[in-house]
Amino acid sequence: MKRKRSATDEATIRVPLFGEERELVCRVRLGRRALVELLPAAREISRQVAAVATDRETARGRSVSCRPGCAHCCRQLVPVAPIEALALAKQVGALAPARGQAVRLRFAEAVARMEELGILDRSAPPGRLALQSVASPGTAAWEDVSRRYFAAGVACPFLDAELCGIYDERPVACREYAVTTPPALCERLDPRLEAVPRPIHTVEALAGAGAAVAGLPGAAVPLALALEWAGAQRGGARGTYDGETMFWTLLEQLGTVARPGTGSAT
Ligand code: SF4
């Protein structure tokens, strides 16, 4: 079936959340699409799941303590999916010249700081993603570099007066992160900090979808490296892909299923 480029369709999906399956509805963009056009569906799924997780915490007497102007978490090493890194680069490219220059400078300063901290190899070419851990290899690596990065107090390049400068376009990790403990624990990344549980892993799923559809790296990009990494991409990252295929690939990565007879992205 031939569809117009502007066409979207609605899909009902089932997501296993906290031991039960929930139905969520989201829009699917049909036809040939750039990779970044998968983000609205991913964000919508993430938003609905986060609402369930937050309601569950509230029902247990634990309310979210995050407030505007509290941005300790914006000094963390935020993971973004490669598709999100492409979107952030596009976002910066669309800024007014002076603002764009200021944001690019902040990105460059954050990357330089990562090099000074020994988190990044100075000699690696643009597009580098390997982080240098001083902990044991494997999963501990991200945690180790996260702690060293946070201790250095490097603010996100998008942070303005402790508010997010790209709030409506912020990465999924920023959307999903919420805590129920006092801000003082966030300020020192205290191990007693309690985050609202994430029953799905949208960043990882988006990374997996980008890898499966376009051959992008299957792992997250540190937000501070997003511009440098995106600027080094050619080929698959710049291509267009079938919107339905991207959507279903994302669902596979999320471990969700379409409700029989109602998944309308056909
Ligand atoms: S994108 Fe916005 S919310 Fe996310 S770390 Fe940066 S300033 Fe904070």
**CA dist 149 to 29, 41, 143, 191, 260, Å?**
37, 31, 10, 16, 46
Ligand 1 pocket member 174 (CB < 6 A) = yes
pLDDT by 10s per residue, the chain, length 266: 233 444 878 989 988 899 888 999 999 999 999 999 999 999 999 999 999 999 999 999 999 999 999 999 999 999 999 999 999 999 999 999 999 999 999 999 999 999 999 999 999 998 888 888 886 665 567 788 999 999 999 999 999 999 999 999 999 999 999 999 999 999 999 999 999 999 999 999 999 999 999 999 999 999 999 999 999 998 888 899 999 999 999 999 998 654 333 333 32
Ligand 1 pocket member 159 (CB < 6 A) = yes
Residue 78 Cα to ligand 1 midpoint, Å, equals 8
CA distance 132 to 119: 5
Element (H, E) at 9: strand 8-17
User: Across 67-140, where does the E strand assignment appear?
Assistant: 79-80
Strand, coil or helix: what is 33? strand
Residue 175 Cα to ligand 1 midpoint, Å, equals 9
So what's the pLDDT on residue 143? 83
Say if residues 195 and 89 touch (Cβ distance below 8 Å). no
Say if residues 84 and 172 touch (Cβ distance below 8 Å). yes
The conformational region for residue 31 under phi > 0 = left, psi -120 to 50 = alpha, else beta, is left
So what's the pLDDT on residue 139? 59
Residue pLDDT, tens place only, 121-160 = 999 998 888 888 886 665 567 788 999 999 999 999 999 9
Q: Is the pTM of this model over 0.85?
A: yes
Among candidates 243, 245, 257, which has minimal Cα distance to 29? Answer: 243
Read off the DSSP letter of residue 66.
-
CB-based contacts of 23-29 (< 8 A; 24+ apart in sequence): 23/259, 24/48, 24/49, 28/243, 28/244, 28/247, 28/264, 28/265, 29/243, 29/247
Ligand 1 pocket member 158 (CB < 6 A) = yes
So what's the pLDDT on residue 203? 96
Ligand 1 pocket member 85 (CB < 6 A) = no
Task: Select from 72, 74, 84, 91 the residue to mutate for testing ligand 1; criterion: most ligand atoms less than 8 Å from CB.
Answer: 74
Ligand 1 pocket member 66 (CB < 6 A) = no
Residue 97 Cα to ligand 1 midpoint, Å, equals 21
Q: Whose CA is nearest to atom 4 of ligand 1?
A: 174
